[in-house]
Structure 1
Amino acid sequence: MFLGKVIGSVWSTQKEEGMENLKLLVVQPVDWNDKEGGRTVIAADRIGAGVGEKVIVSSGSSARILFPGRTVPIDAVIVGIVDSYEVTQEK
């Protein structure tokens, strides 16, 4: 899983079978200091995230198991919208 910020949406009228009714968002990975880190990803969203929100993204086979009984060709899914977080750094 990784922390990211939603920076855009993807619209596609033609999708592979299994992807019908899936909202797709562009997510920029960020680190704990809110600095960009890594390549942007397109993630499926079933929880209603929007542009500008910080989200938790699950990737790989963990993303696909959220669709039981369906073969879905995705490797990233938004699994949470972040309200806040706290990181304690020891010296």
Structure 2
Amino acid sequence: MIIGKVVGNVWATRKEEALNGLKLLVIKPIDYYTDKEFQTFVATDNVGAGIGETVLVVTGSSARKAIDKADAPVDATVVGIIDEVEVNKDAL
């Protein structure tokens, strides 16, 4: 799973038919432990997340299972909106 922030929306008037009805969001991954920067990616939204919210994202076959569309060309799906993250950097 990936923790990320919703930084945008994607609108596509022409797309694969299996994507019809799915909300697409731009996600910026967050690494709370090292503060590394990662590239943004697009994920479908299964929970009604919006710009500025911190979310939990699944990838791969779990992403398709989360939206109940095994044949959809989807490799990332938002499955949760995060209220709080606690990281103990001294744990290692």
TM over 0.5: yes
Distance in 2, Cα, partners of 1:50 & 1:34: 25
1:13-34 Cα offsets, whole Å, 9 max, x none, are 1121211110000000011159
% identical aligned pairs: 46
Q: Matched residue pairs, number?
A: 91
Correspondence 1:72 to 2:34 = no
TM-score, structure 2 normalization = 0.86
* Residue 90 of structure 1 pairs with residue 91 of structure 2: yes
How far apart are residue 67 of structure 1 and its match?
3.5
2:91 counterpart letter in structure 1: E
Structure 2: unaligned runs, 5 residues or longer: none
Closer, same or farther: CA 44–69 of 1 in aligned 2, 3 Å: closer
Deviation of 1:80 (Å): 0.5
Q: Which position in structure 2 is the counterpart of 1:13?
A: 13
Shift, 1:10, TM fit: 0.4
| TM-score for both structures, normalised by structure 1 | 0.87
Q: Distance in 2 between matches of 1:62 and 1:70?
A: 9
Q: Runs of 4+ in structure 1 displaced over 4 angstroms?
A: none
CA RMSD of superposed structures (Å) = 1.9
